[in-house]
């Protein structure tokens, strides 16, 4: 599941229904996000297995240089996608550690609640929307 594809991850997704007066990041909410993250991680790992299988099955030594170049480009794109996903798996694992340590759901910059809906949209979010927006503005100013 590259970079949080809601269509893939969220096909069986049920939004969390908070109860009146419910404490933020209680056990039910943490379990909800743990389940989302574990499912996402599982899908990514299955995609890695499919890629390995595809590379083994489709690896043909074409005589025509154009065919060989096309295959190499296809494999290169696939491997780059898997590399991004490998980094995402690492981030998911780090996020699961935050859940295990009861540190999940709070902005790493200002400490406020990130929010259930934002986390459902991006379960690995580590900043509230305000801090993330500010960080992106700063990044554009420095990089632009």
128 is in an annotated binding site: yes
**Statement to judge: residues 34 and 80 lie in one domain:** yes
**Residue 60 shares a structural domain with residue 128:** no
Structural domain contains residue 14: no
- What integer is the mean pLDDT of 109-125? 97
Task: Specify the higher pLDDT residue, 14 or 108.
Answer: 108
Taking only Cα atoms into account, the Rg of the chain, rounded to an integer number of angstroms, comes to 19
Q: Is 6 annotated as a binding residue?
A: no
Establish whether 32 is an annotated binding residue: no
Please give the pLDDT value at position 56. Answer: 74
- Find the range with the poorest average confidence among 32-41, 47-56, 80-89, 120-129: 47-56
Domain with 138 in it: 106-144
Round to whole Å and give the CA distance between 77 and 71. 10
Percent of the chain with pLDDT over 90: 60
Same domain, 55 and 31: yes
* pTM (2 d.p.): 0.79
Asked whether residue 46 is domain-assigned, the answer is yes
Q: Is 110 annotated as belonging to a binding site?
A: yes
Residue in this structure with the two tokens 């909410």, named with its chain if needed: 29
Statement to judge: residues 95 and 117 lie in one domain? no
- Rounded to 5 degrees, what are φ and ψ at 106? -120, 140
Which range, 4-13, 15-24, 59-68, has the best average confidence (pLDDT)? 15-24
Decide: helix, strand or coil at residue 113: strand
Q: For position 125, what pLDDT does the model report?
A: 98
Distance, CA of 85 to CA of 77 (rounded, Å)? 12
């Amino acid at each position: 599941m590259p970079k949080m594809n809601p269509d893939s991850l969220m096909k069986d997704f049920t939004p969390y229904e908070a109860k009146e007066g419910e404490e933020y990041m209680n056990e039910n909410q943490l379990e909800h996000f743990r389940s989302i993250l574990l499912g996402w991680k599982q899908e990514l790992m299955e995609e890695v297995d499919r890629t390995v299988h595809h590379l083994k099955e489709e690896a043909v030594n074409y005589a025509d240089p154009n065919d060989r170049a096309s295959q190499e480009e296809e494999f290169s794109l696939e491997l780059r996608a898997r590399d991004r996903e490998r980094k995402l798996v690492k981030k998911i694992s780090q996020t699961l550690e935050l859940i295990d340590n009861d540190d999940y759901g709070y902005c790493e910059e200002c400490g406020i609640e990130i929010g259930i809906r934002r986390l459902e949209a991006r379960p690995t979010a580590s900043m509230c929307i305000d801090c993330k927006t500010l960080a992106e503005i700063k990044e554009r100013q420095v990089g632009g």
